[in-house]
Amino acid sequence: MPSRLDSALACGVAHGDLPSSPGANMSVDEELTTQPAVPGAPGPDAPPAIRVEDLHKSFRIPTQRVDSLKERAVHPFAAREYRELQALDGVSFEIRQGEFFGIVGRNGSGKSTLLKLLASIYRADSGRIQIAGRLAPFIELGVGFNQELTARENVVLNGVMMGLTPKEVRERQDAVIDFAELHDFADLKIKNYSSGMLVRLAFSVMLQADADVLLIDEVLAVGDASFQQKCADAFHQMKAEGKTIVLVTHDMAAVEQYCHRAMLLADGNVQFIGDPAEAGRDYLKLNFEAGLPQIGLTEAEADGARLLDCSILDSAGAEVANIESREDIRVRVELELLRETASAVHVGFVLATADGLGLLEFGEHLRPEDQQRPYPAGSRFTLQGRVENRLAPGRYFLNCGVTSAAGISIYVEQISTFVVFGTTKTGGVIAPEVEFQVESEEPAA
């Protein structure tokens, strides 16, 4: 009697669901041929693994929805209107064999569309795609798993879908199960698996792909901390072995850690190709360039004074809501004195985290202490300051106060907010430069 796995494989072949190899539907140009893998970063003379020329892809999106058969029956000849969404607009690039290549961009920039075009899931409107060798796409972990089959049976089924023979998959079955740390649950139906067990199994199957080019969408590490480290070690090994890997992700730290080069997409166009760190910075700037609305008060009045505005500025003096890591924090406050005062007036700030933890107090008098003289009513002042930025990425707030011995007192919490963006990861709220020197003394033999 045939097993459930044999039935599933037979059903898949009968319906044409299982290609003979991962690249069966991919157009592979004869001009691109695979070369022996060379460990290390590929040089500029390395042969291309992927070449994309003037790629265009658009989608027609209906402007009116027809949600029921009644609507269609009542208006059978009603014309449907569409709008065109240009997902990719003349994209061209080249990836070298043995290169770990990152593709980054905001949501809607065309990353996933490009990945599906490379995987032959979509057909391009125009342009040319050339790929050398076999390709294995990993766009979503666990797709294709049969919930009624055991882990071992699913390993065989998915291995065949990736282009391996059943014999090859069975030879690697134990290695997959061991890497996923599921040896005690290998004969359990995966419908009884937790989500963590499922993604570990899917990731382990993915690593067994005998492909020349791997397309990966976001999934660089899954599971708990120890398994994530195993994933990181596996990718470092693949990188060292000279595998060609295309990674689409929003994790700029992963791009800097793994990729030899990276490409930034925006609105279906290539904005940058080159150094991963620079691509990451441009990506973060693109994300935050529109800014965020200021929250809190922009004008506040108390006895004797009125705060008119408090803003965060960039180096050119323009108001911003986002600051790149290591870029100085520049603040400007405008205020008006509502009554005459002969006492010194001090403007102070408290820099706080999103949780309200005060990190720093700073401020200045409106006039130097040795130049004090009465302030007439209606006087207006603009105070600008600069603070060295050693903050870790995240959201921060400014509280502002104006005080005088003559009784002027005003304090506004969260009068301004800003986001520090960057790829530096720390366990706290500051990211200082750290340097160590190690001296050692070895005992005499």
- CATH number of the CATH domain containing 267: 3.40.50.300
d(CA 20, CA 12): 11
129 and 240 housed in the same domain: yes
Domain coverage including residue 36: 25-134+211-287
240 and 329 housed in the same domain: no
Mean pLDDT of the chain: 81
Provide the angle, in degrees to the nearest 10, between the axes of the packed helices 195-206 and 166-179. Answer: 130
pLDDT (0 to 100) of residue 383:
93
Q: Give the model confidence (pLDDT) of 169-204 as tens digits.
A: 888 889 999 988 898 999 999 999 988 888 888 888
271 and 383 housed in the same domain: no
pLDDT average, residue stretch 386-406 = 89
pLDDT (0 to 100) of residue 332:
93
**Quick check: is 150 in a domain?**
no
243 and 365 housed in the same domain: no
**Quick check: is 162 in a domain?**
no
pLDDT (0 to 100) of residue 41:
64
Task: Reply yes or no on whether the pLDDT at 78 is more than 80.
Answer: no
pLDDT average, residue stretch 104-124 = 91
Nearest to 155 by CA among 116, 112, 193, 118: 193
pLDDT (0 to 100) of residue 195:
83
**Quick check: is 182 in a domain?**
no
Most confidently predicted of 85-99, 186-200, 202-216, 310-324? 85-99
Q: Give the model confidence (pLDDT) of 321-379 as tens digits.
A: 888 888 999 999 999 988 888 888 899 999 999 888 899 999 998 888 777 788 888 89
pLDDT average, residue stretch 428-433 = 79
Handedness of CA 30, 36, 38, 39 (dihedral sign): positive
69 and 101 housed in the same domain: yes
Q: Give the model confidence (pLDDT) of 247-299 as tens digits.
A: 999 888 889 888 999 999 999 999 999 999 899 888 888 887 655 444 444 45
pLDDT average, residue stretch 102-129 = 92
pLDDT (0 to 100) of residue 263:
96
**Quick check: is 122 in a domain?**
yes
Q: Is 140 exposed, middle or buried (0-12, 13-18, 19+ CB in 10 A)?
A: exposed
d(CA 50, CA 100): 12
Task: Reply yes or no on whether the pLDDT at 12 is more than 50.
Answer: no
d(CA 349, CA 287): 28
Whole-model pTM over 0.75: no
335 and 412 housed in the same domain: yes
Of residues 82 and 35, the one with the higher pLDDT is: 82
For position 357, which CATH number holds? 2.70.50.60
307 and 281 housed in the same domain: no
**Quick check: is 159 in a domain?**
no
DSSP for 46-61, please give it: SPEEEEEEEEEEEEEE
Q: Give the model confidence (pLDDT) of 131-156 as tens digits.
A: 988 888 877 776 778 889 999 998 88
Question: Residue 84 in contact with residue 65, Cβ under 8 Å?
Answer: no
239 and 357 housed in the same domain: no
2 phi, psi to nearest 5 deg = -65, 145
222 and 251 housed in the same domain: yes
277 and 340 housed in the same domain: no
Paired tokens of 408: 């002027």
pLDDT average, residue stretch 227-247 = 84
Question: Residue 54 in contact with residue 128, Cβ under 8 Å?
Answer: yes
pLDDT (0 to 100) of residue 36:
57
For the chain, what is the domain count?
2
124 and 258 housed in the same domain: yes
pLDDT (0 to 100) of residue 221:
63
* pLDDT above 70 coverage of the chain, percent: 84
Of residues 207 and 274, the one with the higher pLDDT is: 274
pLDDT average, residue stretch 98-127 = 92
Paired tokens of 387: 């603070």
Task: Reply yes or no on whether the pLDDT at 229 is more than 80.
Answer: yes
Q: Is 413 exposed, middle or buried (0-12, 13-18, 19+ CB in 10 A)?
A: middle
Count helices and strands (H / E) in the chain: 9, 19
Q: 287, 316, 344 — which closes off a domain? A: 287
Task: Reply yes or no on whether the pLDDT at 24 is more than 60.
Answer: no
DSSP 8-state secondary structure symbol assigned to residue 279: H
Q: 227, 262, 287 — which closes off a domain? A: 287
Nearest to 236 by CA among 224, 225, 252, 220: 220
Q: Is 193 exposed, middle or buried (0-12, 13-18, 19+ CB in 10 A)?
A: buried
Q: 265, 287, 309 — which closes off a domain? A: 287
The beta-strand segments (E) located in 161-243 are 213-217
**Quick check: is 147 in a domain?**
no
**Quick check: is 125 in a domain?**
yes
pLDDT average, residue stretch 54-59 = 94
386 and 247 housed in the same domain: no
pLDDT average, residue stretch 74-95 = 85
**Quick check: is 427 in a domain?**
no
pLDDT average, residue stretch 8-31 = 39
